[in-house]
Amino acid sequence: MDAQSGGATFTLPSKNPSSSSGKQALTVDGLFYETAAGRTMLPATLTAKMGRNGQLLANTKMPDGRTITISVKPNGGNFDIAFTATPADGIRKWGLMIDAGTDEYFTGLMERVVDGPQQASWAPGIREAMNLRGQKVDMIIKPTTSVYAPFYLSSRGYGVFVKGDWPGFFDIAASDPGKVKIEFEGPKFELKVYTADNPTAIVKAHSADAGLPVLPPKWMFTPWRWRDEHTQRTAYYDGTPVTGPFNSEIMEDVLMMRAYGIPNGVYWIDRPWGPGKMGYDDFDIDETRLPHFDAMVKWLGSQDQKLELWIAPFFQGKMADEGTAKGYTLKGQVRPSSGNNFPMVDLSNPAAKAYWQDGIAKLLKRGVAGFKLDRGEENIPDDGTPNIFDGRSLRENRNAYMKMYVKAVYDIAKKYRGDDFFAMPRGAYTGTAQYGVNWGGDIGGTQEGLRASIIAVQRSAVMGYSSWGSDTCGYNQQLMEQEVCSRWLAFSAFTPIMEVGPTKNVAFWNYPREPKYDATLIAMWRMYARLHQRLVDYSHAQAIVANKTGLPMVRPMLLADPRSKDAWENWWTYLYGGDIVVSPIWEKGVREQQVYLPTGAKWRDAWDGKVYQGGQTVKVNAEPHQIPIFTRVGSEIELGDLNKEWKESWNIAQKRPDLKAAETEVKTWFDAYQKNPK
């Protein structure tokens, strides 16, 4: 190893898929470890020797008495790199630097647009997008936009994946435009450097190493509906008295959607759905809020809809008392002022995990088919003592907890439902993709929130999280603006998970602003839910590909056409599967879009039928009800006549359905059920 920057350095070959950077070999330098005494740079005088299969081993005796060993092992064009110390006690952190080209492009690491407070990712006027260059990222999952991976992809033909769960830090040519700085806590440091002339190969290789994406059931790719809180009311939105047997708002949603012809395959009930202050006690159902729950689940099934419930990794009710008495709770917690997330389950303790899973089993036995996994990254202790049950420190547990959380739900659900379920956390770290799908946390309901979601689905795909969706129209700052919601509905139709809600616990027919009955949004919902429904088989087929190969369902243009500079710059356009180009519009007032079409195919505009040769950027018109869509010529994609669909949806949305007549069918069904519950 040679001297550079006052310390050890080595080089790795790289492959450049584009002409944007110029650099080939990667120079790794600035190697250090850190103890309580401070940071120690590794010297340039390491003794190196070649081992078997081209493995390079280097070691040196340090002034503090430790022996530092560096291993660089070639592995099919990639490199497994490990830094270890003997003894390892007292090592707090490791780090290194990789040289960066002047215009090198980086992406991955997190679904957030920028690190820091999540609201910064949808701040008005934000310019940052897919490219992380110039950013600093703390690699520790934070609420609530919480999809992370210690993996980044470079336009220079390489990627870096840091192994393990310890928190870390990436400085992506921010402090020094010529350097990527990587620092991670823990007694050892292991990373993998991928090299390929195609970034897709790197994304697939990382996905395989981290755990290939789970294959959800086909019905997960149908449209969804939810509200943040369900209230049992005496009248429907239009004043019609409620006489049906189930929760009034659930009946209202289902009956109105059916009347409009809006398909819906998953109905999601968020908390509160149980008794107690948090509406989550003991995994029991609050029959006042959700009367005739078991019958309701079967009624939803008769409408071809599965039920999903909110859960979180903490105890409530009698389980909290018993779990605390048995030592099943996570050590180091401080009860938050809100009362949320307390006491959390120590999922590293098999007995604690089984006790918590028994609660989930109660819901599975009652027909619940999916779970929204909230809060696994919020209010979790991440420093101090004591350690968790399996001996790991609270600090190491911070990122690891998400995988334990998702896997615990996956395991118990698989026991009762085979493969006919899904688990959907908002948080993710290495390993969670093989057990769960994701939604994008509490996103702002503004045009910039939509912008952040367009970036998030693509960043998540690069990181190996293939099935992703957002809260359509936003969760925080629910402004309920017609144009933003219209654009968001269209965008959500071309993400794997299309979930419509929470919409301030109401629906587009009784908005808390004028027009209260928003026929435009009802028509948009109808049109794009129907389009999403027509893509179910296609979406499921793409999910199978992701599950087998690591190729994500959503593919940024930089993966679709990496040799084109325009493809790297056109961050708002992506492939949905291999045969659909979609280009969501996020900004109010915009009626034209620049769309990049990948080389190697001809592409047909789904709105006007025009055919374009790939490898170029085209300008298309897009009215508020239109999202630019192109299908690969020669594919079997059938989207239908979208202009006709819009006119039909618009006309249907003008007439309010008769809820009294529709409810009669529910009562008839319930009477029959009571006579024969089987």
Task: Tell me what pLDDT residue 385 has.
Answer: 87
DSSP secondary structure string for all residues of 216-284: --GGGGS-EEEESS----SB-TTSPBP-SSS-HHHHHHHHHHHHHT----EEEEPSP-SSTTTT-GGG-
- How many beta carbons lie within 10 A of that of residue 307, not counting itself? 21
Percent of the chain with pLDDT over 90: 92
3-state secondary structure 476-494: ECCCCCHHHHHHHHHHHHC
CA distances to 317, 463, 522 from 211, in Å: 35, 11, 39
* 8 A C-beta contact, residue 75 and residue 37: no
Task: Tell me what pLDDT residue 9 has.
Answer: 84
* 8 A C-beta contact, residue 109 and residue 150: yes
Is the pLDDT assigned to residue 146 strictly greater than 80?
Answer: yes
Q: What is the C-alpha separation between 165 and 326, in angstroms, rounded?
A: 27
CA count, 13 A, side-chain hemisphere, 262: 33
Provide the 3-class DSSP secondary structure of residue 383: coil
Q: Give the mean pLDDT of 616-645.
A: 97
Is the pLDDT assigned to residue 21 strictly greater than 50?
Answer: no
Tokens coding 412: 């118990």
DSSP E strand boundaries for 473-610 = 497-500, 554-556, 574-576, 580-582, 592-597, 602-605
Tokens coding 625: 């009800």
Tokens coding 332: 């180091």
Type of residue at 522: I
Task: Tell me what pLDDT residue 19 has.
Answer: 41
Of 99, 126, 105, the C-alpha closest to 115 is 126
For residue range 45-77, list pLDDT tens digits in order: 766 676 677 888 999 999 999 999 999 999 988
Give the model's confidence band at 628: pLDDT under 50 very low, under 70 low, under 90 confident, else very high.
Answer: very high
β-partners of residue 269 are: 227, 309
CA distances to 111, 134, 338, 632, 661 from 586, in Å: 17, 24, 34, 24, 39
For residue range 263-293, list pLDDT tens digits in order: 999 999 999 999 999 999 999 999 999 999 9
Q: Give the mean pLDDT of 568-578.
A: 98
Q: Do domains 2-210 and 553-640 have the same CATH topology?
A: yes
b vs e for 579-602, b when ≥16 Cβ sit within 10 Å of the residue's Cβ?
A: bbbbbbbbeeeeeebebbbbeebe
For residue range 387-398, list pLDDT tens digits in order: 999 999 999 999
Tokens coding 66: 């430790």
Residue ranges per structural domain of the chain: 2-210, 218-547+653-669, 553-640
Question: Which residues, in sequence order, are CB contacts of 173 under 8 Å at separation 6+?
Answer: 100, 104, 106, 133, 134, 179, 180
CATH architecture of the region 2-210: Sandwich (2.60)
Task: Tell me what pLDDT residue 320 has.
Answer: 97
User: Residue written as tokens 């599950």?
Assistant: 547
Q: Give the mean pLDDT of 557-576.
A: 98
Q: Give the mean pLDDT of 346-352.
A: 98
Tokens coding 452: 């952040």
Q: What is the C-alpha separation between 99 and 372, in angstroms, rounded?
A: 41
Of 592, 593, 590, the C-alpha closest to 573 is 593
What is the C-alpha radius of gyration for the chain, rounded to an integer number of angstroms?
26
Residue 294 is inside which H or E element, if any?
helix 293-302
Task: Tell me what pLDDT residue 3 has.
Answer: 33
Task: Tell me what pLDDT residue 5 has.
Answer: 41
Q: What are phi and psi of 15, to 5 degrees?
A: -130, 130
Mean pLDDT of the chain: 95
Task: Tell me what pLDDT residue 48 has.
Answer: 66
Percent of the chain with pLDDT over 70: 97
- How many beta carbons lie within 10 A of that of residue 53, not counting itself? 8
Sign of CA dihedral 542, 456, 448, 176: negative
Fold of 553-640: Immunoglobulin-like (2.60.40)
For residue range 582-612, list pLDDT tens digits in order: 999 999 999 999 999 999 999 999 999 999 9
Task: Tell me what pLDDT residue 1 has.
Answer: 41
Give the model's confidence band at 2: pLDDT under 50 very low, under 70 low, under 90 confident, else very high.
Answer: very low
Is the pLDDT assigned to residue 102 strictly greater than 90?
Answer: yes
How far apart, in Å, do the first and last CA atoms of the chain sit?
73
Bond before 87 cis per omega within 30 degrees: yes
Cα 543 → chain centroid: 15
* 8 A C-beta contact, residue 461 and residue 555: yes
39-42, long-range: CB within 8 Å, 24+ apart, which pairs?
40/64, 41/6, 41/7, 42/7, 42/8, 42/68, 42/70
Provide the 3-class DSSP secondary structure of residue 656: coil
Fold of 218-547+653-669: TIM Barrel (3.20.20)
Residue 398 is inside which H or E element, if any?
helix 394-417
For residue range 526-564, list pLDDT tens digits in order: 999 999 999 999 999 999 999 999 999 999 999 999 999
3-state secondary structure 356-369: HHHHHHHHHHCCCC
Q: What is the C-alpha separation between 25 and 50, in angstroms, rounded?
A: 19
Q: Give the mean pLDDT of 14-31.
A: 72
* 8 A C-beta contact, residue 199 and residue 151: no
Task: Tell me what pLDDT residue 334 has.
Answer: 87
Task: Tell me what pLDDT residue 20 has.
Answer: 47
- Length of the chain in residues, anyone? 678
Provide the 3-class DSSP secondary structure of residue 66: coil
Is the pLDDT assigned to residue 88 strictly greater than 80?
Answer: yes
For residue range 448-495, list pLDDT tens digits in order: 999 999 999 999 999 999 999 999 999 999 999 999 999 999 999 999
DSSP E strand boundaries for 15-92 = 26-35, 38-41, 47-50, 56-61, 67-75, 78-86
